[in-house]
Amino acid sequence: MTQKKPLSARRLPSAFQNRDSIDPVERGRGLILEVSGLRMVRDGTVILDGVNWRVRPGEHWVILGGNGSGKTSLLSALTGYRMPTSGAISLLGETYGESDWRELRKRVGLVSSSVRQKMADPEPALETVASGKHAMIDLWGRVTRAENAEASRLLKQVECGHLADRPWGVLSQGERQRVLVARALMARPRVLILDEPCAGLDPAAREHFLQFLQRLGTQAHPPTLVLVTHHVEEIMPVFSRVLVLKNGGVLAAGSKPEVLNSKNLSQAFGTRMRLNRSGRRYALTVTGKTRGMM
């Protein structure tokens, strides 16, 4: 067995540069994102296995899956923080490994608990947003007048203009999530990934945030939204496509009416479930036997 060469800072593994695995015809059609044959193995354990996924302009996606389905690993690959064993990722027509992936990942905004937990309590919301320009935590150095103006505009866009001088430590969870969205938008990403953004929100705050996402996704020229969640209740009408993961692979992917059904969700979560729809929103009921508490 041939030993792999160590990964350098400038070059990704050759398996991650397989340009032929990206469809050249689709590449020319302006895809936002294409994942092809993505496989990730760590310590002999297969984490992702042959993941294929295409995101076209004008689509907003939901990624659903239970614990251990591969959601976090897929996000880590998309943002360039974990290297797959094989496969290819193309973002806006550029393939990771052929272009500088450190620059490419700046086009992907990320709102996650890992970012939220690193913010300093005394930092004003305006400064938090401005730091997104340089993807820095605890921003040091001078913020330009133009950057301040842009950060202020984005705070207003996420309906938090009145929080500009409010310290991070006294913001509510819902306010923090909106401020982090503004921070991610500061770099003008083409894709905005929201990794379980409603975790920790009370029911009222969650609904307010979801309504905000609906408005964000329907405004003029929005970034492509990718919502990662366990909960179908969080799937707003603006999300038109669904990717369901199970055991590191794609269980189903496509339009919401095609993919979002009781059968797929029962398979994804490993127990019988019934999907209910009320208007343009969803709810899920467990109908099978649940595993006992350990």
Residue 15 pLDDT greater than 50, yes or no: no
- Burial category of 81 from C-beta neighbours within 10 Å (exposed 0-12, middle 13-18, buried 19 and up): exposed
Of 14 and 167, more confident: 167
- Residues 28-43 have a mean pLDDT of 87
Q: Please provide the CATH number assigned to the domain covering 15-286.
A: 3.40.50.300
pLDDT number for residue 256: 96
Helix (H) or strand (E) holding 259: helix 256-259
**Beta strands 61-64 and 224-229: pairing type?**
parallel
- Residues 10-17 have a mean pLDDT of 38
pLDDT number for residue 132: 85
User: pLDDT band at residue 234, thresholds of 50, 70 and 90?
Assistant: very high
Q: What is the pLDDT of residues 238-270, one digit of tens each?
A: 999 999 999 999 999 999 999 999 999 999 999
**Rounded Cα gap, residues 51 and 74, in angstroms:** 9
User: pLDDT band at residue 20, thresholds of 50, 70 and 90?
Assistant: very low
User: pLDDT band at residue 135, thresholds of 50, 70 and 90?
Assistant: low
Where are the domains positioned within the chain? 15-286
Of 111 and 290, more confident: 111
Number of other residues whose CB lies within 10 A of the CB of residue 45:
8
Helix (H) or strand (E) holding 93: none
Q: What is the pLDDT of residues 208-228, one digit of tens each?
A: 999 999 999 999 989 999 999
Residue 51 pLDDT greater than 80, yes or no: yes
| Under 8 Å between Cβ of 130 and 151 | yes
Residue 14 pLDDT greater than 70, yes or no: no
Q: What is the pLDDT of residues 65-101, one digit of tens each?
A: 998 899 989 988 888 778 888 999 998 888 887 777 6
SS (HEC) of 23-73? CHHHHCCCCCEEEEEEEEEECCEEEEEEEEEEECCCCCEEEECCCCCCHHH
pLDDT number for residue 10: 33
Q: What is the pLDDT of residues 153-202, one digit of tens each?
A: 999 999 999 999 999 999 999 999 999 999 999 988 999 999 999 988 99
C-alpha closest to that of 60 among 188, 219, 182, 177 = 219
Q: What is the pLDDT of residues 269-288, one digit of tens each?
A: 999 999 999 999 999 999 97
pTM: 0.84
